[in-house]
Structure 1
Amino acid sequence: MRVTKILATTALVAAGLSLGACSSIRETRGYVVDSTLLNSVQPGIDNQRSVEMTLGRPTFTSQFGEPTWYYVSSTTGRKPFVRPRIQQHQVLAVKFGPDGSVIAADRSGMDEVVYLTPDGDKTPTLGRERGFLEDLFGNIGTVGQPGLGGQQGPGR
């Protein structure tokens, strides 16, 4: 009787642990979203300093065009031993004018995420294909020839 209870308890514990191992793992990456803080950024009222004090430093900033700060947040979920999949994705783009004041604060989500698939296992490049032997022996005879950038003897 006692052995049966121990076996039954062990079986229940093993079943509970195995079900727990199959649960999804959630990970939050990037900016931790706080809706109250995001809604507090007001165009025409805030400037770069007040946005940084409210939201913190941006995930990244624009390199070209009008100054824009991006706050990116992603939540992924995955089963054990499986590639993670994005469940939620949110981007807040805060655009600034020449004087540093906020012009616009735009939000976007999963609808604007672009999924790229690589084209096979090789990257296409411009130019001609060279074989192994041509790569290995291609420079023989070109060192020191006039017009090819090599020097024409010692000391010159």
Structure 2
Amino acid sequence: MIGIIKRTRGVMAVLGFVALTACSATYQNHGYVPLEEDLQQLVVGVDTRATVDDVIGTPSVAGMLNDGDYYYVRSRVREYGMYRPEVIERQVLAISFAEDDTIANIERFALEDGNIVPLSRRVTDSSVMDNGFLRQILGNFGNIDPSQMFN
């Protein structure tokens, strides 16, 4: 009887330990933002886009145009058990360039500086609805006009 109680206590202790470790938070880091020491090497109005590439590397995101501004983005996400992942830290470093391709401004933003912008993916719907490949091919047999084939 005492052996069963000891075994039950051991199993309960292991289950308790597993339950506690399963609910511990995990963190994921995404992206890259250069260190402040590296940014000190850049001079506004003097250094160019090529200098930025050499000193701190190419950005994770660039502006919409070929000669757009540089954006370095880093996020830290906490996942805790069954709860939705939460962004706990986000930094954005924006380097804008003047017309002569020199650095116009270096700005740093954090999650506290603004609103969270939800990123979404927009996909254009296909005009072909619920039609498989064979249905599309076989569905065109009645639409063929033989007079247009030999014209």
Trace 1:109-120 onto structure 2 (pairs within 5 A).
109-110=110-111, 111-115=114-118
Count of residue correspondences: 141
Deviation at 1:114, TM superposition (A): 1.9
Taking structure 1 as the reference length, what is the TM-score of the superposition? 0.64
Would the aligned equivalents of 2:33 and 2:92 in 1 still touch at CA under 8 Å?
Answer: no
- On the 8 A contact 1:62/1:69 being kept in 2, the answer is yes
Structure 1 Cα separation of the partners of residues 12 and 67 of structure 2: 63
The one-letter code sitting in structure 2 at the alignment partner of 1:28 is N
Aligned pairs (5 A) from 1:23-102: 23-64=24-65, 67-102=68-103
Distance 1:6-1:47 versus aligned 2 partners, 3 A rule: farther
Cα RMSD (Å) of the superposition?
4.1
Question: Quick one: distance in 1 between partners of 2:8 and 2:34?
Answer: 47
Please list the CA deviations of residues 53-79 of structure 1 after superposition, one character each: whole Å capped at 9, or x if unmatched: 222111121123962011111111111
Q: Gaps (5+ residues) in structure 1?
A: 118-122, 126-130, 145-150
Structure 2 residue aligned with 1:155? 150
Question: Aligned to 1:19, what secondary structure does the other structure show?
Answer: helix
Richer in helix (by share): 2
Aligned to 2:104: 103
Q: 1:32 to 1:80 in 2, by over 3 A?
A: farther
User: Contact 1:42/1:105 (CA < 8 Å) preserved in 2?
Assistant: no
Shift, 1:6, TM fit? 7.2
Residues 3-36 of structure 1: CA distance to partner in whole angstroms, max 9, x if unpaired? 6777666654543332222111110111155333
**Aligned AA (1:102):** I
Q: Which moved more, 1:89-98 or 1:14-23?
A: 14-23
Closer, same or farther: CA 7–41 of 1 in aligned 2, 3 Å: farther
| Structure 1 residue 115, shift from structure 2 partner | 3.4
